[in-house]
Amino acid sequence: MTNQARIFDETVAGRRSLRAYLPQPVDAQTLETVFSVAQRAPSSCNTQPWLVHVVSGDSLNALREEMPTRFMAGDMSLDFPSSGMYEGVYKERQYGSAQALYDAVNITRQDKAARQQQFMRNFTFFDAPHAAFLFLPEPFGLREAVDLGMYAQTLMLAITAHGLGSCPQTSLSYQADFVREQLGIDASNKLVLGLSFGYPDPDAPINACVTNRAALSDAVIFHS
């Protein structure tokens, strides 16, 4: 194995959805570097169908203060429908991952109040000093959403490689209208997901959570 391959493998393995952050902001140069690297993500015909708004400081705090209350009041608007319901093996994976998360912070399945409180931390960005909102401009659809997904993965790997952590959150797309209003974004840009990121809190028990992955044979079929 080459050194380049080893570093890449370690970066991929080191990327996890982290849910506790230190208040220390990331310096401007590192932010620019990380997002410049992400721009190298592939896309169909090099269309690069994404628009990203990176939010920090007072702008992020304004969202942090309002989003939990709005969610609890039922004030939601999604650009892309999501039931959150899965069947079969996909439901099993969803359940297993959720259970691993709650086990890390000693929350039982019966403690619905604590589970709800943990979920609501999505809307305070897990105390992260930064968040990125990833938009798909109109009239792009499913194929271009795949491109945006490749961008998101490239971005998260770049974040990991620079000693930072992140958590992709479709929950942050539940208030698309409010996010656009607060950030002055045109309605033609559709919110796909948000991404909280920053320096991980090394002492937070929840950051020790590691979820399983399906066996290779369950996901990849080799033909010869």
pLDDT digits (tens, 9 = 90+) for 167-219: 999 999 999 999 999 999 999 999 999 999 999 999 999 999 999 999 999 99
Instruction: Give the tokens for residue 124.
Output: 């305070």
223 within some domain: no
Residue 210 lies in a domain: yes
What pTM did the predictor assign? 0.96
In a domain, 110, yes or no: no
Q: How many domains does the chain have?
A: 1
Q: Is residue 113 a part of any domain in this protein?
A: no
In a domain, 205, yes or no: yes
